Amino acid sequence: MELNQERIEAAIVAEVADRIIGEDELFSRVRSAVETRIDKLFKDSADAQIRAAIDKAITDGFEREYTRVNSWGEREGAPTTIRKELEKVIGDYWNQNVDSNGKPSSYAKLTRAEWVMARMVADDFEGQMKQHVVNVGGALKDQLRLSLHGTINELVSGVFKVNSAGDREIKKQGSNRTGSAIIDPPAAPGA
């Protein structure tokens, strides 16, 4: 006996359809789920189309030519676009002469772009210099501590004529420094 897959699928679909239509509660749940799914698909599709239309309208608006008019409605100047006008405003902003505080000034010879770059470089330089000063100060502190330690060792060894564990450690390290400020007199026999 040969099984016909299409007939089996059709029978299953017919059985499910009969049950769905026969049971009101199941029918209303299926209808609600289908409507929700359709609404979501419509919303997603509509939102994407609306977004694309808005983007196109904005782009077209920036590229559409217009001519300036004066207060009487008479045309002034050559046709232009919003994009060209924005580029001009931005260029004028960066090319405007400013004083040392970044405020517009007709006497200054520094543009805003140069002023901003100088500030950025100065801030970076200041930060690096602070770090360099801290590093130099740390190295100086370490060297001063080492030098003072050696001087104190020599002074203490000169005052106290005792061969201490620290003195023996210095000799082990190969240093000829005993820390003595004067030549030790030889010890008397039997003393």
* Domain end marker among 40, 63, 86: 63
Together in a domain, 118 and 32? no
Q: Does residue 179 belong to any structural domain of this protein?
A: no
* Domain end marker among 63, 92, 108: 63
Together in a domain, 101 and 159? yes
pLDDT for res 36: 92
pLDDT tens digits for range 95-122:
899 988 888 888 878 898 888 988 888 8
Give residue 52's domain range: 5-63
157 burial type by CB count under 10 A (0-12 exposed, 13-18 middle, 19+ buried): buried
Q: Does residue 114 belong to any structural domain of this protein?
A: yes
Together in a domain, 93 and 167? yes
Together in a domain, 54 and 93? no
Average pLDDT over residues 44-62: 89
47 has a pLDDT exceeding 80 = yes
Tell whether pTM > 0.85.
no
20 has a pLDDT exceeding 70 = no
pLDDT bin (cut points 50, 70, 90) of residue 59 is confident
Total of domains in the chain? 2
Place of tokens 């419509």: 42
Nearest CA to 155 out of 187, 184, 178 is that of 178
Together in a domain, 53 and 83? no
Together in a domain, 48 and 92? no
Distance CA(90)–CA(84), nearest Å, equals 10
Q: Does residue 70 belong to any structural domain of this protein?
A: no
pLDDT for res 191: 47
